[in-house]
């Protein structure tokens, strides 16, 4: 019984860890990070992402954590646009 409870706890921690990463940024924070307005389209978001990721990517001397945040911001904004379209 203890084994099953331990497995359930480990699974819950693992599952919440994956969910928490995408929810660390709000829409407003994502827009501010990429420097786009609230009415920005997908192409504008992608262009802002390309410009910013070129500066912060680890291969160009940037931080892996910041590059991950920039990618998460783009994913969040593009996902939100797609939700609004449907």
Q: How far apart are CA 24 and CA 22, in angstroms?
A: 6
pLDDT tens digit sequence for 15-65: 766 544 545 789 999 999 999 999 999 999 999 999 999 999 999 988 898
pLDDT of residue 21: 52
Produce one character per residue of 48-75: b if its CB has 16 or more CB atoms within 10 Å, e if not.
bbeebbeebbeeeebeeebbebbebbbe
Q: pTM for the whole thing?
A: 0.70
Please report the pLDDT score of residue 70 as a whole number: 93
Question: Shortest CA distance to 75 belongs to which of 34, 35, 39?
Answer: 34
Cα dihedral 52, 15, 17, 36 in deg (nearest 10) = 30
Give the homologous superfamily in CATH for domain 25-85.
Answer: DnaJ domain (1.10.287.110)
For the chain, the structural domain boundaries read 25-85
């Amino acid at each position: 019984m203890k084994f099953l409870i331990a497995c359930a706890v480990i699974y819950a921690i693992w599952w919440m860890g994956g969910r928490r990463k995408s929810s660390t940024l709000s829409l407003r924070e994502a827009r501010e990070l990429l420097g786009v307005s609230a009415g920005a389209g997908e192409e504008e978001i992608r262009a802002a992402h390309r410009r910013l990721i070129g500066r912060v990517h680890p291969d160009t001397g940037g931080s892996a954590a910041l590059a991950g945040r920039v990618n998460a911001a783009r994913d969040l904004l593009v996902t939100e646009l797609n939700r609004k379209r449907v």
